[in-house]
A = this chain, B = another copy of it.
Amino acid sequence: MFFRIASAIALMASVPAFAFQNDLISDGEAGTARQLMEMAAESDTGYEIVRSLTTEVGPRLGGSQQEARARDWAVQMFTELGFSNVRIESFEMPFWNRGPISAAIVAPFPQPMLASALGGSAATPQGGLNAEIVFFDSYTALRDFDGSLEGRIAFVNDRMIRAQTGAGYGPANDKRRYAWLEAEARGASGVMIRSVGTDSHRFPHTGMISTPRTDTVAGGAHSQIAVDYLEQEHPDFTERRVWSSIPAVALSAPDADQIERIHQSGETVRVSLSVVAGWRGNRQSGNVVAEIPGREQPEEIVLIGAHLDSWDEATGAVDDGAGVGIVTAAAHMIDRLPRAPRRTIRVVLFGAEEVGLLGAFAYARENAEEVGNIVMASESDFGAGRVWSLTSGTSEDGTQFLDQAQQIIAPLGIIRGSRASRGGGPDIIPLAAQDVPVFRLSQDGTDYFDLHHTPDDTFDKIDPEALAQNVAAWAAITWLIAETDVEFRTLPEDNE
């Protein structure tokens, strides 16, 4: 590990600040927050953390040996940076991994394709598949299809919409999550999807398949055919995960275009597919935790996180090396202040996020008694684009506090977003479900899904200035929340 930590910055005695219309944040507190922002802007600590993780560990699939190396790396990093209470909180998890894949159009125009098995995919039978595809314009068209897919492969072609907020991801992702089920329920031999992504490069985007959520299974997200199939084949599906029995793969956008063009010409497309992938029993994963103990209320915890694991086909720079760098560097900025904040800051690097938020659920389960002490929680897991909005879901006092805190980070180009958001990031979901207040520093994700879950998610894609802007915002907001005695927990009654 080779952190080039910037030489300690002499803290200015007091930063001149304009008069601040503010009753919840003092001028002194605002001044310290601004100091942190200045320190962050001059520091490359966050960038160096991403460099180190992506270079010295590389890909780190949840449950893999590489993810174990990432935990060791994280313990060493936190220790070198001077954090307290550095520890690994281990948990057990089902392990899926992939082997080689090959996919090709065999008729009418033979040519290879670039594909990636979706996480949770089954392998193809010995010798692979050779089957006609049935073309569906969208997941909805597949869901509404009332014919048989026996002996054929379903191809689902939804395109994802590019948006700063990543708003196109959810809708486009239905096909990744559930197309396997709709296809399998109709007897298909396999399922292929156009990658969930916004690029037009020859990279497939991987990602997990899912089991239907019990709260949506009857709500139109799935066909009656799929619901009946689940109830017949997996009567206990509401209680445990169900995995596909058929191979489920994503094609790169240009390969999906190719199938689309041939289909549109009126030809039937026949493909071959060989997938080596599957579940390999249970493995160890873990969350890596480090703290800055609070000077007055150490039992009150401001939890900031990112996930340590990545998909296996890239070094996970934007997903989520960037988040690791951002929250760690932000906490490190705070740790270099002359005194600790009133509350404890806890950095959690979650394991096995990509493969089903397994670290997040393990964390909430194993730390259940302490969840009530978490003042606020947030995760950075949306790449390295600049922060443009502060959203939150807290008490009314907390909302007012964050209104005022936003004024401090406004010079970074950050507006105040929703005051009634339950979104704190993927790994915060289990905590938010237990009423832990959340905030989020929303990033510009316009380009995020060009790289997301592809082999192309590598360190060269990180803009160091945008990363430093993130660190500045995180340092200021995290410190302000840790320093104040405002109670965030009572949820607002004026939810929008």
| CB pair B314 A202 closer than 8 Å | yes
Task: Say which residue of B201, B262, B455, B460 sits within 8 Å of A257 (CB atoms).
Answer: B460
A459's partner among B57, B257, B455, B456 (CB-CB below 8 A) is: B257
Closest to A454 in B: B202
Is A253's CB within 8 Å of the partner chain B? yes
Find out whether the CB atom of A111 lies under 8 angstroms from the CB atom of B254: no
CB of A202 within 8 A of CB of B456, answer yes
CA distance A323 to B254 in the complex (A): 20
> Within 8 Å of chain B (Cβ to Cβ): is A315?
yes
77-108 of chain A: CB within 8 A of chain B: 100, 105, 108
Q: Contact flags (1/0) for A1-14 with B, using CB distance below 8 Å? A: 01000000000000
Q: Is the CB of A59 within 8 A of B111?
A: yes
Q: Establish whether residues A2 and B455, one from each chain, have CB atoms under 8 Å apart when the complex forms.
A: no
- Name the CB-closest residue of B to A100: B100
Within 8 A of B (CB), among A445-480: 454-456, 458-461
Are B57 and A109 in touch, CB under 8 angstroms?
yes
- Would you call A455 and B202 a contact (CB within 8 A)? yes
A460–B159 Cα gap in the complex (Å)? 14
**Interface membership of A55, Cβ < 8 A:** yes
Contacting pair B111 A58 (CB below 8 A)? yes
Q: CA–CA, A55 to B256, complex, Å? A: 11
Docked Cα-Cα span, A56 to B262, in Å, equals 8
Distance to closest chain B CB from A182 (angstroms): 28
Q: Report how far A258 CA is from B459 CA in the complex, Å.
A: 9
Closest B residue, CB atoms, query A458: B254
Q: Are A114 and B202 in contact, with the CB atoms below 8 A? A: no
Given contacts A202-B455, A456-B201, A460-B253, contact A58 B261 (CB under 8 A): no
Which residue on B lies nearest to A257, using beta carbons?
A: B460
Say whether, besides A202-B455, A203-B202, A109 and B460 are in contact (CB < 8 Å).
no
Cβ–Cβ contact A455 & B258, under 8 A = no
**Which of A2, A202, A262 counts the most B-chain CB atoms under 10 A from its CB?**
A202
Residues of B within 8 A of A108 (CB): 56
Task: Report whether B202 and A254 are in contact in the complex, using a CB–CB cutoff of 8 Å.
Answer: no
**A56 near B201 (CB under 8 angstroms)?**
no
Q: Which residues of B contact A57 (CB under 8 A)?
A: 109, 111
Residue A200 lies at the interface, judged by CB distance under 8 Å to chain B: yes
A203 to B254, CA, bound (A): 14
| Interface assignment of A110: CB less than 8 Å from any CB of chain B | yes
Minimal beta-carbon separation of A67 from chain B (angstroms): 13
**Other A-B pairs, 4, CB within 8 Å; known A55-B261, A111-B315, A202-B314:** A58-B112, A66-B110, A114-B455, A202-B456
Supply 8 A–B pairs (Cβ within 8 Å), ascending by A. A55-B262, A58-B110, A58-B112, A200-B460, A202-B203, A202-B454, A254-B458, A258-B458
